[in-house]
Structure 1
Amino acid sequence: MSTQEARRRADRARQVADVLRHQVLAEAFDDGTLPREEQLCGEFGVSRNTVREALSLLVAEGLVERAPRIGTTVVTGKYPHGLHRLMGLAETLREHGDITNEVRAVALTRAPSAVARRLRLESGDQIVYIERVRHLRGLPLSLDLTYLPRDVGEPLLGEDLAGRDIFVMLEEITGQPLGSADISVEAVNADPHTAALLDTTGHAALLMVERLTHLADGRPVDLEWIRFRGDRITMTGQLRRS
């Protein structure tokens, strides 16, 4: 096979893998078994080698597994995390199971200047820092680093940080609802320490979410850096062209 032909097959394999990935995540295969290779060849109009290459991509992602005389079966899906509403993780994923929090650190500390600016504080003001590993159905899902102004963060220290979302407690403490959040999402590799906490491999792909949450009156009260296991979460939302 020429280099050009190999590239064309790789391109087609990626296209097939993208469609199959969507179907796996949407739970389109009722019994958890993908169609046989010959069916996929006919559906996509590609060779068997191309189909096998596409399925190998999904195997490498940990979404499916392959076995002789059994075929290709779904190993695990990903949990959808909606970006269209401002909610805590337990609120977002409650239909998929209970979220529990391993609280690794809680501290009253001085705000780094960059954090102080984001929270509209003076450099050196005290803030509350909370670090948690979040679990869904007992499996580690994310590592959350949270910074809060002292007046809203300190009352949290006596609350159930292991069993409740911080968002809900912030609304109770402040007496007003959360209003909006500035958010960014990027891919990062897991450092060895994070990989150990999330029970994944070193340099595994993580989804890093940076989120600055404001109260309804516009005051920023929660700055977070959240590292999600990329093999257990998918970000979803709906965009409208205005």
Structure 2
Amino acid sequence: MTETAHPRPRRTRADDARRFADLLRQQIRADEFRDRGLPSEGDLVREFGISRNAVRDGLAQLKSEGLIDRAPRIGTHVTQRKVEHGIDRLVGLKQTLREYGTVRNEVRAAMEITPPPAVARRLELAAGERVVYIERVRYLGDLPLSLDLTYLEPGVGGQLLGCDLEHNDVFALIESVCGQSLGSAELAVEAVVADAHSAANLQTPEGAALLLLERLTRLSDGKPVDLEYIRMRGDRITLRGSLFRDPSGNTTVDDTTEWEFT
């Protein structure tokens, strides 16, 4: 077999800084610096084989993201780490993050509404059926994590209006009131910018990067019950998953995977 020679790409300072920032970000996320500070600039230059200026540019990028802080005579240290949560597991935030602290919900709205046609179609509702709309800001301690807009099938949603929405996950309440487990979910994730309402609720600047997760959840019998639009702070949340390739060449998702929130 003839080998094809490919030209070696020219390495620039910006490329080195970006690759360095990606790798250091992963180490911070893995909590590798819990018991020690970040290495010095000189140590990072030697470890990553890049220039001191590229190291400084990469550290500046991580500082702008809020992951680290830098000060003269104090050095560089981690200011926050991300909290892990599975993207392909149907569990609520309160259950997933219990080891990190108390998750609470600020309920902004909980009411019956006439759904937009797009919502009615997704929930497979008949003409004229109403839905229950719930809007919440999710906190870990005093840190806002997400703004959740939830549309619920009326039979289940109506029962949830009488439940404690401030201290419980919607998923757990759905299973409790309907007597069957959740079965599956379809989801999509995309990047959006914070509108004025989202920015105010999530305590982030207007126009800041957010992750928008759209998820349609079904009961074990296949009935759609919960349509959510979850805006998550892009500087505090990482979505994580483990993928496996089966012998047929298809890619499958491990059901023990976790997401990350910070």
Which secondary structure does the structure 1 equivalent of 2:136 belong to?
A: strand
- The answer on whether the counterparts of 1:32 and 1:74 sit within 8 Å (CA) in structure 2 is no
Gaps in structure 2 of 5+ consecutive residues: 1-8, 247-262
Q: Please state if 1:77 is matched with 2:81.
A: yes
Report how far residue 239 of structure 1 moved.
0.9
Return the alpha-carbon distance in structure 2 between the equivalents of residues 216 and 127 of structure 1. 20
Q: Please state if 1:186 is matched with 2:181.
A: no
Quick one: percent identity of the two aligned structures? Answer: 58
The aligned counterpart of 1:230 is 234
Matching of residues 141-160 of structure 1 within 5 Å:
141-160=145-164
Matching of residues 110-189 of structure 1 within 5 Å:
110-189=114-193
Which secondary structure does the structure 2 equivalent of 1:20 belong to?
A: helix
Amino acid at match of 1:162: E
Which secondary structure does the structure 2 equivalent of 1:122 belong to?
A: coil
* RMSD (Å), alpha carbons: 1.4
**Residue from 31, 34, 47 that aligns with 1:27:** 31
Which secondary structure does the structure 1 equivalent of 2:239 belong to?
A: strand
Report how far residue 9 of structure 1 moved.
0.4
Which secondary structure does the structure 1 equivalent of 2:230 belong to?
A: strand
After superposition, give the CA deviation of every residue in 1:9-62 in whole Å (9 maximum; x if it has no partner): 000100000000000111111235210000000011111001000100101111
After superposition, give the CA deviation of every residue in 1:143-165 in whole Å (9 maximum; x if it has no partner): 00000111000011110000000
Q: Please state if 1:91 is matched with 2:116.
A: no
Return the alpha-carbon distance in structure 1 between the equivalents of residues 43 and 187 of structure 2. 41
Report how far residue 83 of structure 1 moved.
1.3
Report how far residue 99 of structure 1 moved.
0.8
- The answer on whether the counterparts of 1:147 and 1:224 sit within 8 Å (CA) in structure 2 is yes
Q: Please state if 1:202 is matched with 2:206.
A: yes
Return the alpha-carbon distance in structure 2 between the equivalents of residues 230 and 44 of structure 1. 27
- The answer on whether the counterparts of 1:208 and 1:227 sit within 8 Å (CA) in structure 2 is yes
Relative distance call for 1:116 and 1:32 in structure 2 (3 A) is farther
Structure 1 residue ranges (4+ consecutive) displaced by more than 3 angstroms after TM superposition: none
With structure 1 as the length reference, what TM-score do the two structures score?
0.95
The aligned counterpart of 1:241 is 245
The aligned counterpart of 2:257 is none
The aligned counterpart of 2:40 is 36
- The answer on whether the counterparts of 1:147 and 1:222 sit within 8 Å (CA) in structure 2 is yes
Instruction: Tell me the matched-pair count.
Output: 238
Return the alpha-carbon distance in structure 1 between the equivalents of residues 112 and 59 of structure 2. 49
Return the alpha-carbon distance in structure 1 between the equivalents of residues 35 and 57 of structure 2. 23
Return the alpha-carbon distance in structure 2 between the equivalents of residues 234 and 63 of structure 1. 13
Structure with higher helix content: 1
Return the alpha-carbon distance in structure 2 between the equivalents of residues 207 and 33 of structure 1. 30
